[in-house]
A and B are shown apart, each in its own frame.
Chain A
Amino acid sequence: MLASVSKAAVAAVLIVSLGAGCSRSQPKDPRQPVLETYAQIVLATYEDTIATARDLDTAIDALLANPSEETLNAARERWRAARIPYAYSEAFRFYAGPIDSETGPEGQLNGWPLDENHIDAVALDKYNAAPGLNIVGDAKSFPEITPELIAAQNEAGGEKNIASGYHAVEFLLWGQDANDPPESAGHRPYTDFVPQTKEPTDVNTRRGKYLKAASTLIVRDLESVAAQWRESKEANYRTSFLTGDTYTSLKHMLTGIAALAEVEMAGERMNVPLLSSDQEEEQSCFSDLTADELRANAAGIEHVYFAKYQRRDGTTVSGPSLADLIKAKDARAAEEIEARITRTREALGAVKNPFDREILADNKEGRERMQASIDALRAEALSFSRGGRSIEIFLSDLEGLGD
């Protein structure tokens, strides 16, 4: 079924595949090593998300054992660090893989916007509203705060009540971002975690319990996804990805990076905030980490396309890539992709922190930087579609789309 891949390209792929630790001597489909490298990069990335999520969890334990300015800041730092490998892993979304199948935990891990009122008291705001009933404050309705309780808030059938995941932890660590001044993030004091009484109904104690439960759930969810990508005696997602239809697996790889670039990054995370100019119309609105996360998203796309990922511990996972396949068939398409990846990296590099100032209606330069990134990301997604076509992988809704 594979169209004419030149003998030289096949040889190149075979030689390069030795570096990926692949023990096949005769791959049936010359594209197989590309799938294997991808699976390794996916697993390595998720393992790094787990390691950093565990570090965050440890820092939360330290905060709750001894609430102070230092322990709160340390936990915030660990949260920031954990977001980076997670951002890389978003390149593996959008094809109903383990992260975002019908039962996948993506919404539970990264859901936004947060239903703050449901989690914890929020301050009176411009509408002079009083805090509503919430889980932390309501010991009567929610006597036990556990990971299961938090997970239960995300009911089936789309009735999501986003009260879990990274942004719930972010909200608890930073508090609401009142934008005063605009450069600032949320301002929660560490004293919000100092128990006022020894009773289990103490609000600050319960807040700590919520924080710990949410963190526990993050680690648990990430591990469930990693398990699907690990080599295993029992058949799992990795098994079907590597032994199923090669066309489908390659299409998933391309769909993930094209959709992340165009739909999620350019569309949801940049174009929407740009148009509404609402300062808090940003993903990580409590911590203002959004711009860094977008840069990490873009890096995640590069990890997939070039099949090269440097892990937290400094080691590198690499091997035959989509870049190799496309270059072998259509050097011009490959050049275009690389040029657009570079342009995207540069455009996103120019976007300033904090994100919520870049999008303000009166920030002409900031908004231009945002628009340049949006344009670059869309162009990048298009080039993935063209590159895909050159290796006979068709992203159907991007098919036939001109520039």
Chain B
Amino acid sequence: MTGCSKGGATAELLQPKSGGDMTVVETSRHSFSRPAPNLTVAQRGEFFIGNAFFNSPWVVAPASASARDGLGPLFNARSCDACHNNDGRGRPPVKDDEQPVSLVLQFATPTPGDNNEPQADPNYGGNFNPFAIGGIPAEGKARIRHHEIKGEYGDGTPFTLLAPEYSFEDLAYGELAPDTKLSPRVAPSVFGSGLLEAIPEAQILERNDPEDLNKDGISGRPNHVWDPLTKSAQLGRFGWKLNQPSIAHQTAAAFSSEIGMSTSFRPNQICTPVQTACAAAPTGGDPEISDEIFNHMVNYQRMLAVPMRRNLDSPEVKRGAGLFAGAGCEACHRATFKTDSVKDQPWLSGQTIHPFTDMLLHDMGTGLADGRADFAASGSEWRSQPLWGIGLQKTVNNHTQLLHDGRARDVSEAILWHGGEAERAKETFRTMSKEDREALLKFIDSL
């Protein structure tokens, strides 16, 4: 299904079981944390093991619990749950003196490496680490300020958007290279990722249209990322610019960059040449996270359930579905996929799912651009964010900071930031009547 569906079949947009048989009825703050109901007892056991590690803090080496030590020396957070709290989404700091924990500030120099991979800042590595273990200097402090962008809906109602600006103070390891680019990225939620991983590549490529040959204004394209393990280019499926090919790759990257712990996937401690104390600090083993524990954590993420839709009987929600399709939102926030048959992971296999993402990159305009390429993704391209679960975001994480850096304070602001390929859809929303806007928002809230 390509192109704008002008008010077509909205039935597809109103399917209750967003995760197929992995859907669970839950509306509490644990909505993203449940084991899928189609697991066997033994699989549930596996789930709870991974859950234990996902939620526990990792500790400084050497510690009695030696399977869990090796935190840092430089880090952003001590546990997966610290950023993906309740398996949900991170946010930028709220208080002035709060350092970003679940917002990662990635660094890259403008020239990519031999395999098109982003190259790290020479002194600060691939991302900013505001915390360190005892005796080691943390990298510094990040400061976030905002400037306001004022606008009006078509009916004259005013709105304000906040554009963030980042700066650093008390840098402990010298200067950042003058041409180092910054990409701020909040932790996305992790539920349903097994299903996304199981979507056949061919289905994702159905909407691959970088030259916009069908002339619908949308030019989604995949990211292909270099996998050092298989020494090949793989389809990117995870991350704000689809820069990780699998859950395992993403998990290993996060352990390495944000918790400072090594895995078989990424066996090296990341200390730059000037970070000598970091390099000299004791490690928690080689690798610090054993393959066994790592696999449990990957499986755990694959087994997380998707919460059921809510309020699908509401006439306003149904009307909103029509508006969602009519505005062209579904062109990127694709409603339906069917997963592959996955050996050894039967709970994921053959599921009809409704993630409301096309798993492709889109140019979102200059307002949202970070100017930092990530493999094939340009500085202004971002993936279509999965919208499933968004109506429970507030309940689970007590905030609704949306978009890649959490700048949007709610769904309306997120839509208003859409530009580039999404400019036309945004304008449709902006110029809708108040009743129509509210119906559309109610529909999104049902996801």
Q: Hey, which bits of chain A sit against chain B, CB under 8 A?
A: 96, 102, 111-118, 122, 124-130, 132-134, 157-162, 176-177, 262-263, 266-268, 271-272, 275-276, 278, 280-281, 285-286, 374, 378, 382, 396-397, 399-403
Query: Distance (Å) between the CB of A120 and the closest chain B CB?
Result: 12
| Residues in B whose Cβ lies below 8 Å from that of A374 | 45
Does any Cβ of A come within 8 Å of B401's Cβ? no
Total residues of chain B contacting the partner, CB 8 A: 52
Complex: how many Å from CA A276 to CA B66?
Answer: 11
- Smallest Cβ-Cβ distance to A132: which chain B residue: B134
Distance in angstroms between the alpha carbons of A127 and B288 in the assembled complex: 12
Partner of A114, one of B59, B283, B305: B59
Residues in B with CB closer than 8 Å to A400 are 37
Minimal Cβ-Cβ distance residue in B for A178: B64
| B50 to A: closest C-beta gap in Å | 9
Q: Are A117 and B77 in contact (CB under 8 A)?
A: no
Q: B41, B52, B64: which has the most chain A beta carbons within 10 Å?
A: B64
Q: B63 to A122, Cβ gap below 8 A?
A: yes
* A285 and B65 in contact, given A272-B52, A272-B53 (Cβ under 8 angstroms): yes
Interface contact A132-B135, CB-CB below 8 Å: yes
Are A157 and B59 also in contact (CB < 8 A) when A267-B48, A271-B48 are? no
Query: Is B79 interfacial (CB 8 A cutoff)?
Result: yes
B296: interface (CB < 8 Å): yes
**Chain B proximity of A78: nearest CB distance (Å):** 22
Within 8 Å CB of A127, what residues of B?
61-62, 282-285
CB distance from A15 to the nearest CB of B (A): 36
Are B79 and A263 interface neighbours, CB within 8 A? no
- In the bound assembly, the distance between CA atoms of A85 and B428 in angstroms comes to 61
Given contacts A122-B62, A396-B25, A397-B37, contact A160 B57 (CB under 8 A): yes
With a cutoff of 8 Å between Cβ atoms, the chain B residues found around residue A267 in the complex are 45, 48-49, 51-52
Q: Given the complex, which residues of B lie within 8 Å of A118, measured CB to CB?
A: 60, 134
Chain A residues with Cβ below 8 Å from B62 are 117, 122, 124-127, 129
| CB contact under 8 A between A262 and B29, given known A113-B63, A397-B24 | no
* CB-based contact A158/B77 at 8 Å: yes
Contact B79 A115 (CB under 8 A): no
Minimal Cβ-Cβ distance residue in A for B39: A401
* B248 sits at the interface (CB 8 A): no
Please give me the residue from chain A that is nearest to B136 by CB atom: A132
Residues of A within 8 A of B283 (CB): 127
Once A158-B79, A278-B65, A280-B65 are accepted as A-B contacts, the answer to whether A134 and B134 lie under 8 Å apart by CB is yes
Determine chain A's interface SS by DSSP, over half rule.
loop
- Closest Cβ of chain B to A402, distance in Å, is 8
Are B64 and A116 interface neighbours, CB within 8 A? yes
Query: Measuring CB to CB, which residues of chain B are less than 8 angstroms from any residue of chain A?
Result: 24-26, 28-29, 34-35, 37, 39-41, 44-45, 48-49, 51-53, 56-57, 59-68, 77-79, 81-83, 85, 101-102, 133-135, 282-285, 290, 292-293, 296, 305, 398
Residue of A nearest to B82 (CB): A158
Is B101 a contact partner of A275 (Cβ separation < 8 A)? no
Q: Is the CB of B134 within 8 A of A177?
A: no
The answer to whether A280 touches B134 (Cβ under 8 A) is no
Bound-state Cα–Cα, A343 to B56, Å? 30
24 contacts between A and B (CB under 8 A): A112-B56, A114-B59, A115-B57, A115-B63, A122-B63, A126-B62, A127-B282, A134-B134, A157-B101, A158-B77, A158-B81, A159-B78, A159-B82, A161-B57, A262-B48, A263-B51, A267-B49, A271-B45, A275-B292, A285-B64, A374-B45, A382-B41, A397-B37, A401-B44
CB contacts (< 8 Å) of A281 on chain B: these are: 65, 67-68
Q: Within the assembled complex, what's the spacing in Å between the Cα atoms of A10 and B113?
A: 75
Chain B contacts for A262, CB-based, 8 A? 44, 48
Residue in contact with A403 in the complex, picked from B41, B83, B292, CB distance below 8 Å? B41
In the bound complex, residues from chain B placing their C-beta under 8 Å from that of A126 are 62, 66
Q: Is the CB of B68 within 8 A of A113?
A: yes
Report the bound CA distance from A128 to B62 in whole Å.
9
Which chain A residue shows the least CB distance to B60? A117
Shortest Cβ gap from B218 to chain A (Å): 37
Given known A-B contacts A159-B78, A160-B79, A281-B65, A397 and B26 have beta carbons under 8 A apart: yes
What B residues does A263 contact at CB under 8 A?
Answer: 48, 51
Give complex CA distance A111, B26 in Å: 27
Taking CB atoms, residues of chain B closer than 8 Å to A122 are: 62-63
- Report the Cα distance A276→B57, complex, angstroms: 17
The chain A residue sitting closest to B34, CB to CB, is A397
Contact yes or no, A286 B64, CB < 8 A? yes
CB–CB A116/B63 < 8 A: yes
A162, B59: Cα distance in complex, Å: 9
Q: Which listed residue (A130, A161, A177, A402) contacts B64, Cβ 8 A? A: A177
A132-B133, A132-B135, A275-B292 known; A176 and B35 CB under 8 Å? Answer: no
By beta carbon, the residue of chain A nearest B102 is A157
Separation of A133 and B102 alpha carbons in the complex (Å): 26
Q: In the complex, what distance in Å separates the CA atom of A230 from the CA atom of B62?
A: 43
The chain B residue with its CB closest to the CB of A157 is B101
Contact A160 B66 (CB under 8 A): no
Which of B28, B45, B59, B102 has a CB less than 8 Å from the CB of A115? B59
Q: Which residues of A contact B61 (CB under 8 A)?
A: 117, 127, 129
Known A267-B51, A268-B51; 17 more pairs at CB < 8 Å: A117-B133, A118-B134, A125-B66, A158-B83, A159-B82, A160-B79, A160-B82, A266-B45, A268-B49, A275-B49, A275-B292, A278-B65, A281-B68, A378-B45, A396-B34, A401-B44, A402-B40
- Cα separation A401 to B82 with both chains bound (whole Å): 30
Residues of A within 8 A of B77 (CB): 158-159
Contact, CB under 8 Å: A133 / B134: yes
A158 contacts B305, CB within 8 Å? no
Roughly how many angstroms separate A115 CA and B62 CA in the complex, as a whole number?
A: 10
Measured CB to CB, the closest approach of chain A to B46, in angstroms, equals 9
A130 to B56, CA, bound (A): 24
How far does the alpha carbon of A177 sit from the alpha carbon of B66 in the complex, in Å? 11
CB atoms of B37 and A401 under 8 A apart: yes
Given A112-B56, A115-B59, A403-B41, A266 contacting B65 (CB threshold 8 A): no
- A133, B135: Cβ atoms under 8 Å? yes
Quick one: closest B residue to A394, CB to CB?
A: B25
| Chain B positions within 8 Å of A402 at CB level | 40-41
Measured CA separation A316–B39 after assembly (Å): 41
Q: Are A280 and B56 in contact (CB under 8 A)?
A: no
Which chain B residues lie closer than 8 Å to A117 at the CB level? 59-63, 133-134
Min CB gap A43→B, angstroms: 25
State in angstroms the CA–CA spacing of A275 and B52 once bound together. 12
- Please give, as numbers and ranges, the residues of chain A lying within 8 Å of B25 by CB-CB distance: 396
> Roughly how many angstroms separate A56 CA and B102 CA in the complex, as a whole number?
38
Nearest chain A CB to B129's CB is how many angstroms away?
14
What separation, in Å, do the CA atoms of A396 and B282 have in the docked complex? 45
Docked Cα-Cα span, A111 to B68, in Å, equals 14
Find chain A residues with CB under 8 A from B57 CB. Answer: 111, 113, 115, 160-162
How far is B64's CA from A402's CA once the two chains are assembled, in angstroms? 38
Question: Whole-angstrom distance between the alpha carbons of A117 and B58 in the complex?
Answer: 12
Residues of A within 8 A of B28 (CB): 96
